[in-house]
Amino acid sequence: MPRFSRLTARCAALLAAAAIALPLAATAQENALTVELNKFEPAEDGGCRAFFLFRNETGKAFEGFSMSLAILDGQGVIDRLLNIDAAPLPVARTTLKLFEIPQIACDDISEILLHAIDSCQPQNEDNMDCFPLVELVSRTSAPLVK
């Protein structure tokens, strides 16, 4: 194989590796607490089960972390507030949490708004304002927004 072809092949391999790594880097920001709405599935009661991933890259473990989410229906109207407790969130780990959203089908959820962070308490520290640390991602049809 000529030298130019080997160099071209190496460049192509590096570009492919970078293309794979970029989306991963975008979902787990350094010094961030990424909250990802990973998927929905129908619940037995006709409601919706939401799967959240919490990626804690803040350098702190959290013994308290709870949020208030506004669930918007298909017309963009607030259907309900959902309070979720995601603690504990270990440092440098991804944690899966499941939450039930009662009395609304997954297909009827148009958007989820992070209304408030009610508790954000690092281990052995006082409660703090985590809003600036939180990055939101959704892999569902419903955006997760601040």
pLDDT digits (tens, 9 = 90+) for 42-81: 999 999 999 999 999 999 999 999 999 999 999 999 999 9
* pLDDT for res 116: 97
Dist CA 144 CA 110 (whole Å): 10
* pLDDT for res 27: 43
Nearest of 98, 101, 97 to residue 71 by alpha carbon: 101
To the question of pTM greater than 0.85 for the whole model, the response is no
* pLDDT for res 64: 98
17 pLDDT exceeds 90?
A: no
* pLDDT for res 79: 96
* pLDDT for res 2: 54
Express each pLDDT in 104-144 by its tens digit: 999 999 999 999 999 999 999 999 999 999 999 999 999 99
* pLDDT for res 30: 73
Return mean pLDDT, the chain: 86
Element (H or E) spanning 11, and its range? helix 3-27
Q: How confident is the model at residue 29 (pLDDT cuts 50, 70, 90)?
A: low
Express each pLDDT in 2-16 by its tens digit: 554 544 445 444 444
Nearest of 42, 35, 38, 39 to residue 101 by alpha carbon: 42
